[in-house]
A and B are shown apart, each in its own frame.
Chain A
Amino acid sequence: MSTASPGPLLQVEAVSVRFGALLALSAVSLSIHRGEILAIIGPNGAGKTTLLNVISGFYHPHEGRILFEGRDRTRLSPPDVAALGVARTFQNVALFKGMSVLDNLMTGRLLKMGGHFLLDALWWGPAKRQELANRAFVERVIDFLEIQSIRKTPAGKLPYGLQKRVELGRALAAEPKLLLLDEPMAGMNVEEKEDMSRFILDVNGEFGTTIALIEHDMGVVMDITDRVVVLDYGRKIADGPPEQVRKDPVVLDAYLGASHG
């Protein structure tokens, strides 16, 4: 942490994204501060996932800038964003279904394995040693997420809740500075949600990982997040601590107001 530059970890500055005539994000600005858990909420179609895609490089904004650790990162591709230390999960679990849980987590370490991507196959000895070191780290993630019993199971065969947990594990394996979670608890039962909440809090607490997540379950949002950003129709309509946002009349209107049905 001592080497980190001052200021927010990530800044989104007046970012706009258009899909044809649809303005998915309209001059959205927000900061993600080091060490916090930030929730991005809003009604369906508010632009939450678009925002996550912009941050992780899957979309590039038509206007505005993205700064990561103070540097302009607006135009980077997803692999380059990942290389900076941003890991993410997807709304509809994107695991490598044919590969075992262990292999899925190992892919999360690909960036941590040094050396040139092309030459690596030729250097058998060092490659093997590296493999072992990375394997040790992945085993820690497996222990942390309590998925020892399924480490050899093909990811596609797991129930949905566990797939979400494995996907979180793959992101953690990359030791990210910023972890982006797109609806980490969607489709989960109460028990699974409690587990996932605990993991998110522990990741944040033990490793100091900064986390931004999209979530619909207001109970969860109020419980585990430090700050909440609310989007509606591609605009930011509120930004603040959960208790404050909850009482914000603009937010209440966005969720319950007549204009949205």
Chain B
Amino acid sequence: MSHRLRVDWPSCEARGLCHELLPEVVDLDEWGYPIVRGEVTDELVADARAAVRACPRLAIRLVAR
């Protein structure tokens, strides 16, 4: 089953940990806010969960689709 990252935009304050932990899926724009590139593949789900847990703003979720 594929997964996707969801950003809670009002909560996000561009701390950038999601990009540090999951650069395969998350880029940062010129202001440091995440750009989610495509789906989270099965191999990356563990890393994605780590990114979700590490977000200091609790601003990302991993949703199955």
Q: Do A and B come from one complex?
A: no
Interface positions of B (Cβ within 8 A of A): none
